[in-house]
């Protein structure tokens, strides 16, 4: 068992080292090796499960300066996030192998992608605010380069926007961290536990969080960032990047500080407005990736809403939501990617009738869409219903009503997407590959969403075991 204690280091080291090593090989090697690196990362994340089951929580710290230390923690939150993120990242890397095959010189692509995953893993395990900030900005730089991968004028503009908005948020985060250091003389999360954080400081950190997790009013970078290659969109904007903010929120406000009522009410209000505005914008958008990006904004609102309730039950529900959303939204973005890859079109008015030539992609889309909408027997149903129940039970009736209205919007825009893109008049002859890894990837994500929805005790029991 003792050797497994170090497994979490490898979830960080393997992708970070892989990023540099892969820069040496050819594009063909990179495709295979990137998936291998992701698989190993996932495996190492899995190996941390028995550690948490046996020890509950492990903390290691290597002090560097008064305010900075290489402090890491392995607990229920880290295990869950690491397993989910690395699994989705692995599936996306398989998909990317085929998707990116038509582009040359993928050195940068794989470098930044692996660097991003490594930074994400580092951030998940960090137990020092300064260290969190370092990894936070590393993910920002990696996503900046990945969003602007095509280097066209629009791509660079969107990438700059994403970077600048998240950096704007990060500067608030940094200010918050500085205030915390000034007040308490430490940035170690273990030493800050139970501290009643002043509302203003909490809000400073929260601005950083909402910029990363695309909550109102710092959300507009996310739809624009859909110009990126689809694996990037799936990885950054559905499965992993946007969850960073959510995760840091949970780490800071449900595991470290004691937030004030005023702050929690603010978070709740922001999340509910985000749910509705995100869903409403998705309904009127016409670009397939923008629809899904707005959908992400809206769905993250539900997770934030659960966290704003500030209870252990709500925290667990939020994590099941993260799992459901990561799987299904990655699936949806990857489906959109297949459509875009095969047709070179993104506007729904130019698409139609694709179910005839892309039946498996259409099926995978529907599986994932049902999960996002929150229809049983898909996984997304459980956390969505629980969030609404918990919100109502906490006495926030208006918020519960708006969350349900958001779900109706979701039903309408995802059905509209399916009808416009996969049904109706055939506008293009483009077809999916018969033995396409991309298609199998999306089918896998859809099937897992269904399977875990049918057997909800699996994810819930796992969560109950690791988060006590």
Partner 1 sequence: MALNLTMLIFLPIAAGLLSFSLRQAPARKNLGILVLLAALAVAVTSFILTPGRLSIHLLDEFALTFDHNVIAAFIMIFINLFGLLVCIYAGSYGEDKKEFYSCLLILIGAANLTVLAADFLLFAFGWGTMLVLLYALLFRGSHETARKAVSIVGTADFMLLLGIALFVALSGSTLIPADGEGLPIKTPLQFLTFLLLFAGAAGKAGAWPFHPWIPEASTSSSMPVMALLPASLDKLLGIYLLARVCTDIFVLSAAAMGVVLLVGGGTVLFAVMMALVQKDARKLLSYHAVSQVGYMVIGFGTGVPIGFAAGLLHMLNNAIYKTGLFMTAGAAGKEKGTFNIADMGGLARFMPVTFVCALIFSLSISGVPPFNGFVSKWMVYQGAVEGLLDAKGVVLPAIFVIALIAAFFGSALTLASFIKFIHSVFLGQETESEGPAPSEARVGMRYPLIILAALCVIFGVYPALFMDHAVLPWLPEAAISVGEGEWNALLAFILLAAGLLVGLAVVFWGFVRSKIKVSSAYYGGQEASEEINYRATEFYKTLQEISLVRKFYGVIEHKLMDMYRVLTLTLELVGTLLYYLVDRLIDVFTTLAALFVLGVGNGLKKLHTGNLDFYLLWCLLAMVVILFIIAG
DSSP string, 36-99: HHHHHHHHHHHHHHHHHHHHS-EEEEEE-SSS-EEEEEESHHHHHHHHHHHHHHHHHHHHHHHH
**Per rule CB under 8 A, is residue 401 in the interface with partner 1?**
yes
**Per rule CB under 8 A, is residue 464 in the interface with partner 1?**
yes
Q: Provide the minimum distance between the beta carbon of 427 and partner 1 in the complex, in angstroms, as a whole number.
A: 15
Q: Which stretch binds partner 1 (CB under 8 A): 10-18, 19-27, 105-113, 415-423?
A: 415-423
CA distance 86 to 350: 35
Q: Choose between 96 and 147: whose C-beta lies nearer to partner 1.
A: 147
Q: Provide the minimum distance between the beta carbon of 285 and partner 1 in the complex, in angstroms, as a whole number.
A: 8
Site string for partner 1, 369-388 (x = CB under 8 A): -x--x-xxx---xx--xx-x
CA distance 104 to 261: 53
**Per rule CB under 8 A, is residue 419 in the interface with partner 1?**
yes
**Per rule CB under 8 A, is residue 70 in the interface with partner 1?**
no
**Per rule CB under 8 A, is residue 460 in the interface with partner 1?**
yes
Q: Of residues 280, 350, 437, 447, which one binds partner 1 by CB under 8 A?
A: 280
Q: Which stretch binds partner 1 (CB under 8 A): 45-53, 89-97, 252-260, 389-397?
A: 389-397
**Per rule CB under 8 A, is residue 183 in the interface with partner 1?**
no
Q: Of residues 174, 250, 305, 400, which one binds partner 1 by CB under 8 A?
A: 400
Q: What are the strands, taking DSSP E only, across 299-422?
A: none
**Per rule CB under 8 A, is residue 6 in the interface with partner 1?**
no
Q: Of residues 4, 17, 60, 164, which one binds partner 1 by CB under 8 A?
A: 164
Q: Provide the minimum distance between the beta carbon of 264 and partner 1 in the complex, in angstroms, as a whole number.
A: 18
Q: Of residues 4, 21, 276, 437, which one binds partner 1 by CB under 8 A?
A: 276
Q: Of residues 62, 395, 425, 435, which one binds partner 1 by CB under 8 A?
A: 395
Q: Of residues 6, 58, 134, 415, which one binds partner 1 by CB under 8 A?
A: 415
CA distance 257 to 202: 9
Q: Which stretch binds partner 1 (CB under 8 A): 1-9, 29-37, 193-201, 404-412?
A: 404-412
Site string for partner 1, 301-330 (x = CB under 8 A): -----------xx--xx--x----------
Ramachandran assignment for 318, one of left (phi > 0), alpha (psi -120 to 50 degrees), beta (any other): alpha
Name the CA dihedral angle for 279, 284, 290, 292, rounded to a multiple of 10 degrees: 40
Phi and psi at 71, nearest 5°, equal -105, 130
Tokens of 440: 């199998």
Q: Partners of 71 in the beta sheet?
A: 61
Distances in Å between the Cα of 115 and the Cα atoms of 78, 187, 354, 448 are 19, 25, 35, 27
Contacts of 151 (CB under 8 A, 6+ apart): none
Q: Is 351 exposed, middle or buried (0-12, 13-18, 19+ CB in 10 A)?
A: buried
Helix or strand (DSSP H, E) at 209:
helix 199-212
Count interface residues toward partner 1 (CB under 8 A).
56
Q: Which stretch binds partner 1 (CB under 8 A): 98-106, 173-181, 228-236, 460-468?
A: 460-468
Contacts of 185 (CB under 8 A, 6+ apart): none
Tokens of 383: 């956390």
Q: Choose between 70 and 273: whose C-beta lies nearer to partner 1.
A: 273
Q: Of residues 285, 296, 298, 436, which one binds partner 1 by CB under 8 A?
A: 285
Collapse the DSSP code of 347 into the 3-class scheme (helix H, G, I; strand E, B; otherwise coil) and give the result. strand
Q: Of residues 404, 430, 437, 447, which one binds partner 1 by CB under 8 A?
A: 404
Q: Provide the minimum distance between the beta carbon of 460 and partner 1 in the complex, in angstroms, as a whole number.
A: 5
Contacts of 61 (CB under 8 A, 6+ apart): 69, 70, 71, 72, 127, 128, 188, 190
Q: Choose between 11 and 211: whose C-beta lies nearer to partner 1.
A: 211
CA distance 347 to 361: 17
Please name which of 10, 235, 19 lies closest in space to residue 125, comparing C-alpha atoms. Answer: 10
Cβ neighbours of 138 (radius 10 Å): 18
CA distance 379 to 321: 9
Q: Which stretch binds partner 1 (CB under 8 A): 137-145, 178-186, 225-233, 395-403?
A: 395-403
Q: Provide the minimum distance between the beta carbon of 208 and partner 1 in the complex, in angstroms, as a whole number.
A: 16
**Per rule CB under 8 A, is residue 220 in the interface with partner 1?**
yes
Q: Choose between 147 and 277: whose C-beta lies nearer to partner 1.
A: 277
Tokens of 128: 């020092």
Query: Residues in the site for partner 1, rule: CB under 8 A?
Result: 161, 164-165, 216-217, 219-221, 273, 276-277, 279-281, 283-285, 294, 312-313, 316-317, 320, 370, 373, 375-377, 381-382, 385-386, 388-389, 391-393, 395, 397, 400-401, 404, 407-409, 411-412, 415, 419, 423-424, 456-457, 460, 463-464
């Amino acid at each position: 068992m003792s050797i497994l204690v170090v497994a979490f280091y490898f979830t960080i080291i393997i992708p970070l080292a892989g990023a540099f090593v892969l820069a040496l090989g050819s594009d063909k090697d990179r495709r295979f090796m990137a998936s291998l690196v992701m698989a190993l990362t996932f495996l190492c994340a899995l190996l941390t499960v028995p550690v948490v089951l046996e020890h509950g929580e492990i903390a290691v710290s290597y002090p560097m300066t008064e305010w900075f230390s290489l402090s890491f923690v392995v607990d229920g939150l880290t295990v869950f996030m690491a397993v989910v993120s690395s699994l989705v990242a692995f599936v996306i890397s398989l998909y990317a192998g085929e998707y990116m095959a038509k582009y040359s010189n993928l050195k940068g692509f794989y470098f930044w992608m692996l660097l991003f995953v490594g930074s994400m893993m580092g951030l998940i395990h960090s137990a020092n605010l300064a260290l969190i900030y370092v990894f936070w900005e590393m993910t920002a730089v990696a996503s900046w380069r990945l969003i602007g991968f095509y280097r066209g004028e629009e791509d660079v503009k969107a990438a700059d926007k994403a970077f600048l908005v998240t950096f704007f948020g990060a500067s608030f985060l940094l200010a918050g961290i500085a205030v915390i250091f000034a007040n308490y003389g430490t940035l170690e999360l273990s030493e800050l536990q139970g501290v009643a954080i002043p509302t203003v400081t909490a809000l400073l950190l929260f601005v950083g969080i909402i910029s990363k997790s695309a909550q109102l009013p710092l959300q507009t970078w996310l739809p624009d960032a859909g110009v990126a290659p689809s694996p990037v969109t799936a990885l950054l904007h559905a499965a992993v990047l946007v969850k960073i903010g959510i995760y840091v929120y949970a780490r800071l406000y449900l595991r470290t500080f004691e937030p004030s009522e005023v702050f929690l009410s603010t978070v709740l209000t922001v999340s509910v407005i985000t749910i509705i505005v995100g869903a409403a914008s998705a309904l009127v958008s016409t670009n397939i990736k923008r629809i899904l990006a707005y959908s992400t904004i809206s769905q993250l609102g539900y997770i934030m809403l659960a966290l704003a309730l500030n209870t252990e039950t709500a925290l667990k529900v939020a994590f099941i939501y993260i799992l459901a959303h990561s799987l299904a939204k990655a699936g949806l973005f990857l489906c959109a990617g297949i459509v875009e890859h095969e047709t070179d079109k993104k506007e729904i008015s130019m698409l139609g009738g694709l179910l005839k030539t892309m039946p498996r992609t259409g099926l995978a889309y529907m599986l994932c869409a049902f999960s996002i909408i929150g229809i049983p027997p898909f996984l997304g149903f459980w956390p969505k219903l629980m969030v609404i129940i918990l919100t109502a039970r906490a006495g926030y009736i208006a918020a519960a009503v708006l969350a349900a209205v958001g779900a109706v919007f979701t039903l309408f825009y995802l059905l509209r997407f399916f009808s416009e893109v996969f049904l109706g008049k055939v506008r293009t002859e483009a077809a999916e590959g018969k033995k396409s890894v991309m298609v199998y990837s999306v089918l896998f994500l859809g099937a897992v969403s269904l399977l875990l929805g049918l057997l909800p005790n699996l994810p819930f029991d796992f969560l109950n075991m690791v988060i006590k």
